[in-house]
Amino acid sequence: MVTSRHETAHRIFQERPALLAPTFKLLGVSLPEDASVEVLTPDATELKPIERRIDTVLRLRPRNGGAPTMLAIEAQGRPDPEKARSWAYYLAFLESKNRCPALLVVVCQDKDTAEWAMGPFHLGPDDWKHLTVRPLVLGPGNVPVILDPEEAAADLAMATFAAMTHGRSPDAPAILKTLAQALGSADREALRYYSELLDTGLGDTPARRTWRKLMKNGSYFPGRGTFVEETYLEGKAEGKAEGKAEGEAVGAARSVLRLLEMRGIPVTPSQRDRALACTDLAVLDRWLELAFRATDAEQVFDG
């Protein structure tokens, strides 16, 4: 079953391809330094009824005109004895179809799965193993633990990926606190993207609950059940009973107030009245964005 946690483990490479260089450096494999990155369809199905899909497929094309490199990125949550055959198929398919080298990267978020995924996997009869699959693996054993806020702020994509990878580590609370501090100085779009990505990528774990206490997230991925999305939908539902236009405004205002309350930020009676009296949805949306990182209510209503 594909989960949100599984999806974010490989999707971050599609949306933040700058993450490729530092992660491949960890693996000891060089990629073209100056290359364009193209996201391709993950469909590896041929003229047969068996559907095969790779999690993420990227094509790196050197700008100097050299041969491209295909990357197949798979997220793996547990050991699976059938996976080696699928991975062998993916690599053979990509090389045959694109006439260029292909690499397989497996992303794991727990140590046992990462050790298993390293293989090597030998395929064929017992007396003649004609094919060997050796994936590159990113997991807790080689992805760094980032505990310096300045280092995290310098590369938010790597810091977020590292936080996801070490979500089950005893160091997870310290790692998450470091990332939260780094995101405090990020622009609004980066704050919303990385905080929500991590909220989704941690899955139903104690680390996710720790993260929600540190930073109440925005709704970058709709439909994923993140904190602010739940808060917003609750407020919107409450407002429906009060008329459509007026209800939307009341629901949005209640979302702002509820978010501040959950973050432990006190709101004065006059500020509460001001929020509930506002009918401008654009203003209310802005207040909701400010409520993500404000340290007091004045920064929201007077920001």
Contacts of 62 (CB under 8 A, 6+ apart): 32, 34, 35, 68
The 3-state DSSP composition of the chain as helix, strand, coil percent (nearest 5) reads: 50, 15, 35
The pTM of this model reads 0.66
Give me the pLDDT at residue 105, please. Answer: 94
207-240 residue pLDDT tens: 888 888 776 544 444 444 555 555 555 555 555 5
- The confidence score (pLDDT) of residue 221 equals 43
Tell me the residue type at 67. A
The CATH fold assigned to 4-138 is: Trna Endonuclease; Chain: A, domain 1 (3.40.1350)
Q: What pLDDT score does 20 carry?
A: 84
Which of the residues in the chain have pLDDT under 70?
1-6, 33, 41-52, 215-247, 262, 303
C-alpha 69/C-alpha 174 separation (Å) is: 37
The pLDDT tens digits for 54-70 are 788 889 888 877 788 99
Domain boundaries, the chain: 4-138, 149-214, 227-301
What pLDDT sits at residue 226?
A: 54
Give which of 3, 4, 8 is closest to 193, Cα–Cα: 8
| The three-state (H, E, C) secondary structure of 31-56, written as one string | CCCCEEEEEECCECCCCCCCCCECCE
pLDDT of res. 245? 52
